[in-house]
Structure 1
C-alpha cells in the first residue's frame, strides 16, 4: 500500500501494522506492570502492511539484545548476518515491487557463504580448546533469516524448492511440541503432520539427487555450490530429524491405548476441543442464557453417554485386549478420567454465569484460596490470553481472504509474535505455583496451537505461482469454478451464455508474449501452472459447446419424432375414414343393383350425401304433380305427346319416378 492510501497491484495487505512495529513481549513477574501498559492492540484485525519509521528502531533493539549473547570472535559474522536480515525485512516490507526470485537466490547464496565462515570460525575456536556456548545470538538470527528466506521462496512460487520447506518445518515443530505438552491428541491430529513430513523428506531427496546429477565436474564454482548445498542439507536435515523424532514419540504414546477404547478417547477429545473452541471464540461477544443452556445440555448429554460405558462394579473403562494388565489399564483410566474431568470443569465454568454471558470476559481464574499468588501473574496471563484471542481472530479472517490479501512473507511477523508469546508463557508457567492458573494455561496453550495450525494451513495452501502472477491465477481459478458450477447445473442453453467466459479467457491469453506471462521484463515462476489452468478452462468451454450441440440435436430429433408421430396419426385417421367411406359406397351400389336401379341417375337417401339426394327427389316429384294438374289445350297437349314420343326408353328406365 502506498503512502497515498491507494492499493496498488503490488500491494497485498496481510500483516497487521501493530505486529510489525511492536517489540517482543517482555513480561516478568518482578516488573511493575499496570493495566494501561497491557492494553491489547486494537489494530490486529487491520490488515495494513505499510511499514513505518519505527521498524528500524525495533530492529536495532533486537540487534542489541541478541548481540549480548554473541562471543567477540563471532561478532563480525553477526554483523554480516544482521545486514542480510535487514535486507530481507526491507524486501518483505516493500509493497511497490514484487519479490524477484533472482534477488532471493543472491541473498540465499550470500547467507550460505556467511554460515560457512561461521562454521570455520567455530572449528578454529574448538581447536584452540575454547568451549562453545551454543546456541548463541548467531544461531537465533540464522533461524530468523532462514525462515524469511523460506517464505520469500514460497512467495516466488518455489514451494518445491528445498529451502522453502524450512518455514513449514518450524510450524510443524511448534505443533508437535504443543501436542506433547498438552498430552491430548488423536491420530487424526498426527496423520496430516506425518504426510507433510514425508513430502518434505522426498523434496530433500529429490533436491540432493538433482544436485548430484547436475554437478559431475569438479571446479572452483562447483566446489562452492557443493559446499553450500551441504550446509543447506545439514540445516534442513537437522530440523527434519527433530520433527520426525518428536512425531515418532507422539505416535508411540498413542499406541498404548487399546483399539477398543479408541472410540471413547476420540469422542472425549472431540468434546473437549468443542468446549475449548466455544470458550475462546471471539466472534460471538454475547450469548443468551437459553442458547447457552442448550449448548451445555448437549455437552452434558454427550459426556453422560460416555459415562454409561463404565463398568457398573468398579467404574472403569474395560478393554478386552489388556484384561490381565492392571497397571496398563489403570494408566489408561487416568487419561480418560482426566479428559472427563477437564470437560466437566469447562462446563461448570459456563454454568456459573448469569443470564447474559460475555465469553470475552469469561472468568477462568482457578487459583486456590490457600495459596498466595502474585496479582502480576493474573495480569500477565490475562494479557497473553486476550492477545492470542485477537491474533487468532486475525488469522481466521486471513484464512478466508488469503487468495487476495496474503503475501506469504507476512506470516513471518505472526510466527515471530507467536514465538515471543510462547517464550513468555513458558517463563510465566515456571513462576506460577503448582496447581494454580491451570485453566488459563490450558486455554492459552489451546489458542497457541490454533494459531500455529492456521499458519500451517496458510503455508500448505500456497500455490506454485509467483506473487506477480497470483492475480491472474486467482482470476483463472474463479473462471474455472464458475464454469464447473455452470456445467454441473445442466450446462448452457445457448452459446451467448459462454461469451463472458470466452472474452475473459481471451483477454488473459492475450497477456502472453511468446507463450509466456512476462511481468517487469522477467518471467516469473508458475508459467506451467497458469498455462495448464488456462488450457483447462478452454477445455471446459469446448466440452460445454459439445454438450450444447448434443442437446440441440436431441431436441431436434425429439421434435422430428413428434411431427412424424402426428403425421402418421393423421394419415392413419384419413386412411380409416376413406376405408369407411368406400365400404358404405360399395354397400349402396350392391343394394341398387339388386333393386334393378341404374348406375347413372339413381339416388339413395341413406349413405353420405343423403340430405342433398332427398331434396332433389322432392323437387322432381313436385314438378311431376304440377304437370298432371295443369289444364293444357289440345295443341299443347298434342305437342306434349309428340315430345313424349321422342323420349328414349333408357330415360324411362333411369327415372325412378315412373
Structure 2
C-alpha cells in the first residue's frame, strides 16, 4: 500500500483490524496444511467474511476527509487479499476477479522496477500490456456477479498498473520504429551484463564478448548517429546513446570491482540468490509441486527487501551506499519476474485434481509421440494406454471427478483432456487397421 501508511488505527476500525488478522491467520493455516487439499468451500466462506469487512471500511471512510486514509488495516487487508487471490488460483478459479489481485501486485512491482532500471523495450512491455487487458476483461465479465467492493478494489489496482505502463510506453514513443531492433539488442546486452555480473564467480570472457557486441553496435553510427536505410537521422538517438553509455558503465563497474557486493549487503545477496534458485526450480517442477499459495512467502520477503531501499539504494549501517547495488536489483527483479511467470502459468484446475491432470497430460504426450513416430506396429502397444485411461475414467462419478463429496474446479478441462486421449487411441487403432488391410 502507499508510502504514507500510519501504524495507528482509529478506534472505529480496530474491530475490523482484529477480524482481518483472524482471517489472515486462518488463510495462513490452510496454506500450510499439506495433509489436505485446499477446498473452494473453505475459501469462499473466508472470502464472504472479507467482503463484509471491506464494506465496513468503505462505510467508515465515506467521509471525504478520510478518502486518503491509510493505516495498518490497509496493510493487513492487502496481505489478506494476496493470500485469498493465491488461494483462488490453487483451487483452480484462475479466471475470476479476486484471483487477479496477486498478479496485479506483482505486475505493479515489475513495472516500477522496469521504470527505475530503464532496461526495457516494447518486447518487455507488450506481454504485460496483454496480461493487463486480459485482467480487465475478467473484471468486466465478473462485474455483474461480483460484489462491487471487490470489483472496485481490483479495478483500482489495475488502474495503478495501467498508469505505470503508460509512463513506460510514453518514454519509448520518441523512438523511431526503425531503431527499435537496436534498442532491443541493447536491452538484451545490458541484461546479460548484469546477469553475468551477479554470478558469484565473475567470468571476464563473458563480459569481453558482450563488450565486442557493444562495439559492433557503436560502429554502425555515423558522426554519433544511427541512420535509417535512406541516410536520414531517425528520432530516438538520445535514448539509444543513453542505453549504450549505461551498458559501458555497467561493464566497467563489474570488470573493475573487487568484490561482488559490499560485506554489509552480503546477507541480502545470499537471501535473494537462494530465492531466485528456488523459484527457478519451481518453474521446472511446478506441475507437480507448486501450490500457488506458497508464492505468498516469496512475495512478502521480496517486498520487505524492496522496501529497505532509501531513494532506490540499499544502505549500510552508516548510511553509505555500498558496492553491489546493480547486482541486488537484478536479483530482486529476476525474482519478481519468476513469480509473475508462475502466476500467469497457473492452470484452471484445483490442486486436488492436479495428479489426474498430470497423468492425462503424460498419456496425451505419449500418444502424440506414437502418432508422430508413424503410429502403432501392433494393437498390443495400445493396451497400457487404454488401461490407464479406463482406470482414470472409472474415477468419475456421473461424469465428474469427485474428491469426497466435493466437485473441485477443472472438470471441463479434465473431461476434454480425457476425451482427446480416447480420440487419439481410436485414431491410432483405425490407422493400424488400415495398414493391416
Shared topology, TM-score over 0.5?
A: yes
The corresponding residue for 1:69 is 8
1:431 Cα deviation from its structure 2 partner: 5.5
* 2:153 is equivalent to residue 242 of structure 1: no
Work out the CA distance in 1 between the residues paired with 2:241 and 2:312. Answer: 28
Matches of 1:257 and 1:386 in 2, distance apart? 38
CA distance, structure 2, for counterparts of residue 189 and residue 320 of structure 1:
26
Q: Is the 8 A contact 1:157 1:465 kept in 2?
A: yes
1:105 is aligned to: 44
TM-score between the two structures when normalised by the length of structure 1 = 0.62
2:196 and 2:206 in contact (8 A); partners too: no
CA-to-partner distance for each residue in 1:167-192, whole Å, 9 max, x for gaps? 11111111111111112201110111
CA distance in 2, matches of 1:323, 1:134: 54
CA distance in structure 2 between the partners assigned to 1:160 and 1:133 by the alignment: 30
Scaled by the length of structure 2, what TM-score is found?
A: 0.91
Distance 1:257 1:438, change over 3 A: farther
Which residue in the other structure is 1:480 paired with?
364
3-state secondary structure, aligned to 1:424: coil
CA distance in 1, matches of 2:231, 2:59: 56
Distance 1:238 1:68, change over 3 A: closer
Give CA-to-partner distance per residue, 1:437-477, whole Å, 9 cap, x none: 59722222222221111111111111111111010001111
- Compute the displacement of 1:344 (Å): 3.0
Deviation at 1:67, TM superposition (A): 9.1
CA contact (8 A) 1:112 1:232 kept: yes
Q: Give 1:207 deviation, angstroms.
A: 1.0
Task: Give the secondary structure class of the aligned counterpart of 1:154.
Answer: helix
Question: Quick check: 1:265 aligned with 2:183?
Answer: yes
Cα deviation, residue 260, structure 1: 2.3
1:544 equivalent in alignment to 2:428: yes
Structure 1 residues 67 and 346: CA distance shift in structure 2, 3 A? closer
Q: Secondary structure at the match of 1:115?
A: helix
Name the residue aligned to 2:59. Answer: 120
Match of 1:363 in 2: 259
Quote the RMSD (CA, aligned, Å): 2.6
Aligned mate of 2:267, from 383, 395, 404: 383
CA displacement at 1:115 relative to structure 2: 1.1
SS at match of 1:493: coil
String of CA shifts for 1:363-398, please: whole Å, max 9, x gaps.
Answer: 246xxxxxxxxxxxx444333223211111110011
Is contact 1:465–1:529 with CA below 8 Å preserved after alignment? yes
Counterparts of 2:189 and 2:406 in 1: how far apart (Å)?
52
SS at match of 1:192: helix
Selected match of 1:510 from 390, 394, 404: 394
CA distance, structure 2, for counterparts of residue 450 and residue 108 of structure 1 = 31
Residue aligning to 2:225? 316
Tell me what 1:419 maps to: 303
How far the C-alpha of 1:324 sits from its partner, in A, is: 8.2
Report the alpha carbon displacement of residue 132 of structure 1 after superposing the two structures with TM. 6.8
Do the aligned residues in 2 keep the contact of 1:155 with 1:407 (CA within 8 Å)? yes
Post-superposition Cα deviations, 1:332-358, rounded to whole Å, max 9, x if no partner, equal: 4443233323333444456559xxxxx
Distance in 1 separating the partners of 2:270 and 2:204:
25
Structure 1 or 2, whichever has the larger Rg, is 1
Within the candidate set 141, 145, 150, 2:85 is matched to 150
Aligned residue runs from structure 1 range 626-637, under 5 A: none
* Alpha-carbon distance between aligned partners in 2 of 1:203 and 1:78, rounded to the nearest angstrom: 29
SS of the residue 1:162 aligns to: coil
Q: 1:258 touches 1:319 (CA, 8 Å); kept in 2?
A: no
Q: Against the structure 1 CA distance between its residues 119 and 293, is the aligned structure 2 distance closer, same or farther, given a 3 Å change threshold? A: closer
Select which of 371, 384, 387 maps to 1:500: 384
Provide the rounded CA distance (Å) in 2 between the counterparts of 1:321 and 1:119.
Answer: 60
Question: Structure 2 CA distance, aligned partners of 1:550 and 1:315?
Answer: 69
State the Cα distance separating 1:428 from its structure 2 match: 7.0
- Provide the secondary structure at the position in 2 that maps to 1:389: helix
How many angstroms does 1:204 deviate by?
1.1
Change in Cα spacing, 1:251 to 1:502, as seen in structure 2 (3 Å) is: same
Q: May I ask how many residue pairs the two structures share in their alignment? A: 431
Judge conservation of contact 2:24–2:80 (CA < 8 Å) in 1.
Answer: yes
Give the deviation of 1:71 after TM superposition: 2.3
Aligned equivalent of 1:78: 17
User: What is the aligned counterpart of 1:306 among 207, 210, 217?
Assistant: 217
Structure 2 unpaired stretches of 5+: none
Matched, 1:338 2:242: yes
Deviation sequence 1:290-329 (CA, Å, 0-9, x none): xx46534432321121011111xx333345899689xxx6
- Taking a change above 3 Å as real, the CA distance of residues 141 and 299 of structure 1, as seen in their structure-2 partners, is same
Between the aligned partners of 2:323 and 2:212, the Cα distance in structure 1 is: 23
8 Å contact from structure 1 (residues 258, 321) kept in 2: no
The answer to whether the 8 A contact 1:349-1:364 is kept is no
Structure 1 CA distance, aligned partners of 2:60 and 2:71?
A: 14
Q: Provide the secondary structure at the position in 1 that maps to 2:34.
A: coil
Shift of the 174–351 alpha-carbon distance from structure 1 to 2, 3 Å rule, reads closer
